[in-house]
Amino acid sequence: MEKPNLTLPKLTKNEQTVLKKIIEQAKIPDSEIADKMGLSQQAIFKIRHKLEEIGMIRGYMPIIDFKKVGIETLVVLGIKFTSRVWEKYSEEQIAERLRKIPRVILAYRMPESRLSHLLVLGFMNLEQKDRFLMNLQTRYAKEIEIVQVFPFSVDRIIKESNVGLLNIILNKEEFDRNEFFLD
């Protein structure tokens, strides 16, 4: 079995430090990073620009408080597209159409036989979620099989950040067997 290439692009110590600061706080001003690192604001700007140019930073997204914008319910939805869909659309066309669904927060292609995609969707409440799923079942019954539905309240979100994982990768740390709290 071939091991995946987990090597990062070669970054200088300063580039790694700037990346870590941006991961921790996306909107951090270059001047603040410069002050903390003892570098010029122009140097930080160049490093940030390089990280964007090489595609390591593709954009900056806010972390939204779902409840404050009216989203009370999230649903993890496992679906399987039928052969009818696969015959009509390519993999990329399906992915592009999923990206355009406003309710979809995350979408994953699953290499499993039981389901083809895993979606995370947001709803104002359970009634809206129910209407959406019933419409999906009736309108697209020949195209989509709903395999699994896991609804939950946004009040139950425990963590929604990948900062810890990104720091482990940047620091080139190995998996700690005691990392999970149950040991």
Judge whether 156 and 75 are in contact, CB under 8 Å: no
The pLDDT tens digits for 103-133 are 999 999 998 779 999 999 999 999 999 999 9
- pTM equals 0.75
Judge whether 124 and 71 are in contact, CB under 8 Å: yes
The pLDDT tens digits for 37-70 are 999 999 999 999 999 999 889 888 888 889 999 9
Query: Coil, helix or strand for 170?
Result: helix
CA–CA separation, 129 vs 122, rounded Å? 8
Query: Coil, helix or strand for 4?
Result: coil
Q: Please name each of the domains of the chain with its CATH number.
A: 13-61 (1.10.10.10), 66-153 (3.30.70.920)
CA–CA separation, 37 vs 30, rounded Å? 10
